[in-house]
Structure 1
Amino acid sequence: MRLLIVGALSGQLTAATRIAIDKGAAVVHADSVDMALRTLRSGRGADLVMIDVAMAIGDLIAGLEAERIHVPVVACGTSTDARAAVNAIRAGAKEYIPLPPDAEMIAAILAAVAADTRDLIVRDDSMAAVVRLAEQIAGSEASVLVTGESGTGKEVLARHVHRRSGRAGKPFISVNCAAIPEHLLESELFGHEKGAFTGAVARRIGKFEEATGGTLLLDEISEMDVRLQAKLLRAIQERVIDRVGGGKPVPVDIRIIATSNRNLADAVREGTFREDLLYRLNVVNLKIPPLRERSADVSALADHFARKYAEINGMPRRPISADARRELISAPWPGNVRELENTIHRAVLLASGDEIGVEAIRSPDGSRLGHGFGGRTEETVAKAAATAEAVTRSLVGRTVAEVERELILDTLDHCLGNRTHAARILGISIRTLRNKLNEYSGAGLDIPAPGEVRSVA
């Protein structure tokens, strides 16, 4: 986790920096916005920027956008400075951290940005076989494709491969291809030269060069535009890149690991993914089974998360009761490890008594976890059938386009405007979702921004 602190290191900001370092962050400091931009251009990248609320946050955000640098920004300042906090969020900061700093709040923000805080915990034979294969090929230079459903731990396994490789002492750089808009991703990966486009005031080093000597993880690579895939293929084959606007190839020495929650062979048939690139990436395929097929891992992970969140929240450690453990093992876990982690965190907060009982194992809406069709009572099945029939009748007389539009926008509301989460729930690519939203916006519809829902008339 690489953290860039922007502002004078005095008082509470110094304390925040010490906390971040104690939580495992590698911290770089910049006195000014200009210095921060120079740092980010130079190849000393950051996973998160923390800026003093008194600094020109709008100038930093504008500079990042103009130079196509994709990095989340959080502001920090005294808790009494409410106006400055509001202005920071309006300027584009993703979060506001009140000072004096709270260690657990900083830890939570760092953990939300950096997935490397997650541990690789394996007890189930099916997952153990995948890890053995990962360790067997870790020392090679072969490209690796890690596949599996969303939330199964693909990035965690990729980091494990890096730690077991000969490149372990070098950088591990992760790029989420689904989270970065198409027009920014090329510059993010390959960098750019001064004058390459309006706003490119200086050379910028991209992720390929940042990762030189180490490993570059291309997360959710199926979301990469086909035109950019051609440039990626050349980089993998020839070990050189071309910065945007550059005329001289730049040699790079990296190992590529890619992840996908989609079937790339299907994407090849659909024309959205290059077949030659798939062959280059898929030298070794590490296919992670879904959590519902790893019952031993469910139990071990649940114990781990129970200890972790008891400590984080300053609560007593409680064992998971036998009934609660059976409930966890029998749940379908469509969100996999990520969903299990959230469920246990919630259970730690809701539990009372000496154990985490079954009454604390709840969905976000407070209901019991689903157990699939086989575990339902006849009454529940009848209610579900009646609901399904009512929904079907409500669709009659409407066009497919109308139903699709309502489903997409309702799902986006459910995800508070988060495009990536909505696309995963809908089972479509982030590119397809963005195209649909652009279409709806052009038709005059209200499209929620990230963190928002549609306004209700």
Structure 2
Amino acid sequence: MRLTIVGQLKGQLTAATRIAMDRGAAVTHAETVDQAMRTLRAGRGADLIMVDVALDVRELIAGLEAERFHVPVVACGVDNDARAAVAAIQSGAKEYIPLPPDPELIAAVLAAVADDQRDLVFRDPAMIAVVQLATQIAGSAASVLITGESGSGKEMLARHVHQKSLRANKPFVSVNCAAIPEQLLESELFGHEKGAFTGASARRIGKFEEASGGTLLLDEISEMDVRLQAKLLRALQERVIDRVGGSKPVPVDIRVIATSNRVLADEVRRGTFREDLLYRLNVVTLKIPPLRDRPSDILELATHFAKKYAVANGMPVRPLSAEARAQIARGRFPGNVRELENTIHRAVLLASGPEIGAEAILSPDGGPMAPARTADAASRAAETAEMITRSFVGRTVADVERELILDTLGHTQGNRTHAANILGISIRTLRNKLNQYDEEGYAITPPQGGVAAA
């Protein structure tokens, strides 16, 4: 985790720095917004910026956007400065941390950023095979090509390769080749010298140099212009780059991972992608199956996202009802994991009651989610049952038992006697199990009226 703290290091901010370093963050300090921008231009990348609200937060965020530095910003300041806190959030800060610093709050913010970068969740055998291969080749220096449909999790798999590699403690830098205009992508990748073109008012270190020692992800590389592909090929072959407007080559030490939602061999035949670059990139190819071809991952991911967005929105963690799970298992999800994530995030916000019901599983326009196929009801039910059964594979009996007990208690609205009867166990056994789950930190559905129903 690379953290840049912007502001005067006096007292409370110094304490925040010390806490972050104790939690494993590599901390860089800049006293002013200008100094922070110079640090980023010099290639000292950041995964998170913490800025004192005494500085101009709006200016910092505007500068980051103008120069295409995609870094989340959190503001910090004395806890009674409510006006400054509101202004910082309105300016684009993701969070506000009151000072004096709370070690647990800072740890939570750092963990949230780290978790956003490491959410690789899978259970289906098809995905297990891909992850096993990724882990196997991670320790090598070979370039990797990751293919798959949009939203299938290519960047997450790339981060997994980096984290399992010998470069795990070095930077992981990502560039979305499809999101940056063609005329700016060369500068973004290779950097530029002052005066190299109109608007180049200072030297800017590119992503190749920023990632030196670590891993560079070229996301959706098929969108890169053929002319720029030639310069990229040279960088991969010779491990040197030329800044725009520069007079001498700059050595770099990186591992390149590229992703594409297209078949690059087809692009080679069309003349839009260089064949020699394809051979250089795909020393190892990892192909991620679409979500529809790994059904056991659907419910596993849904459960993960339900917990993640409940915590993120300050809401209680609630299980998915049996009806909701069946509806999700039937879903088509042409947008793959990204679409499923948005569906569950929406459901967490819309659901009422002790669990997330099927009525909260909606499409973006508020209508019911389209089923995967138009088969008759019987075959759909059989398919759903098979998906749910497959989702249990690889889980412990204790995990399945706990989920069954908590789901049943939710259906009975906290009535323990009814839940015990449905489960076929004694009320004493149920109470012992619930006490155990409560001690382990799991949410227990309270009985209606707040009194345990025996």
Whether the 8 Å contact between 2:72 and 2:94 is mirrored in structure 1 is no
Q: Determine whether 1:289 maps to 2:289.
A: yes
Q: CA deviation at 1:328?
A: 0.9
**Structure 1 segment 82-97 matched on structure 2, within 5 A:** none
Q: CA deviation at 1:152?
A: 1.0
Q: Which amino acid aligns with 1:302?
A: A
Q: CA deviation at 1:329?
A: 1.2
Counterparts in 2 of 1:286 and 1:166: CA distance versus 1, 3 Å: same
- For residues 173 and 316 of structure 1, the distance between their equivalents in structure 2, rounded to whole angstroms, comes to 34
Counterparts in 2 of 1:181 and 1:293: CA distance versus 1, 3 Å: same
The answer for the alignment partner of 2:231 in structure 1 is 231
Q: Which amino acid aligns with 2:183?
A: H
- For residues 111 and 339 of structure 2, the distance between their equivalents in structure 1, rounded to whole angstroms, comes to 16
The answer for the alignment partner of 1:337 in structure 2 is 337
Whether the 8 Å contact between 2:53 and 2:85 is mirrored in structure 1 is no
Counterparts in 2 of 1:302 and 1:58: CA distance versus 1, 3 Å: closer
Query: Which of the pair has more CA radius of gyration?
Result: 2
Q: Determine whether 1:80 maps to 2:114.
A: no
- For residues 83 and 346 of structure 1, the distance between their equivalents in structure 2, rounded to whole angstroms, comes to 25
Question: Superposition RMSD on alpha carbons, in Å?
Answer: 3.8
Q: CA deviation at 1:8?
A: 4.1
Q: CA deviation at 1:70?
A: 3.7
- For residues 346 and 21 of structure 1, the distance between their equivalents in structure 2, rounded to whole angstroms, comes to 35
2:180 alignment partner, SS class:
coil
Q: Determine whether 1:208 maps to 2:203.
A: no
TM-score normalized with structure 2 length: 0.69
- For residues 266 and 314 of structure 1, the distance between their equivalents in structure 2, rounded to whole angstroms, comes to 47
The answer for the alignment partner of 1:394 in structure 2 is none
The answer for the alignment partner of 2:327 in structure 1 is 327
- For residues 87 and 316 of structure 2, the distance between their equivalents in structure 1, rounded to whole angstroms, comes to 37
2:257 alignment partner, SS class:
strand
The answer for the alignment partner of 2:117 in structure 1 is 117
Whether the 8 Å contact between 2:53 and 2:84 is mirrored in structure 1 is no
The answer for the alignment partner of 1:366 in structure 2 is 366
2:83 alignment partner, SS class:
coil
2:196 alignment partner, SS class:
coil
Whether the 8 Å contact between 2:216 and 2:254 is mirrored in structure 1 is yes
Q: CA deviation at 1:288?
A: 0.4
Q: CA deviation at 1:56?
A: 5.1
Counterparts in 2 of 1:139 and 1:72: CA distance versus 1, 3 Å: closer
- CA deviations 1:259-287 (Å, max 9, x no partner) are 11122223223332222111111111111
- For residues 198 and 168 of structure 2, the distance between their equivalents in structure 1, rounded to whole angstroms, comes to 38
The answer for the alignment partner of 1:134 in structure 2 is 134
The answer for the alignment partner of 1:278 in structure 2 is 278
Q: Which amino acid aligns with 2:290?
A: P
Counterparts in 2 of 1:205 and 1:56: CA distance versus 1, 3 Å: same
2:342 alignment partner, SS class:
helix
The answer for the alignment partner of 1:250 in structure 2 is 250
1:374 alignment partner, SS class:
coil
1:304 alignment partner, SS class:
helix
1:345 alignment partner, SS class:
helix
- For residues 287 and 231 of structure 2, the distance between their equivalents in structure 1, rounded to whole angstroms, comes to 26
Matched positions, count = 371
> Which deviates the most, 150-159 or 182-191?
182-191
Whether the 8 Å contact between 1:53 and 1:75 is mirrored in structure 2 is no
Whether the 8 Å contact between 1:79 and 1:98 is mirrored in structure 2 is no
The answer for the alignment partner of 1:178 in structure 2 is 178
Q: Which amino acid aligns with 1:285?
A: T
Percent identity of equivalent pairs: 71
Counterparts in 2 of 1:238 and 1:299: CA distance versus 1, 3 Å: same
2:29 alignment partner, SS class:
strand
Runs of 5+ in structure 1 lacking a partner? Answer: 378-457
- For residues 273 and 111 of structure 2, the distance between their equivalents in structure 1, rounded to whole angstroms, comes to 32
- CA deviations 1:56-78 (Å, max 9, x no partner) are 56765786688x55445758586
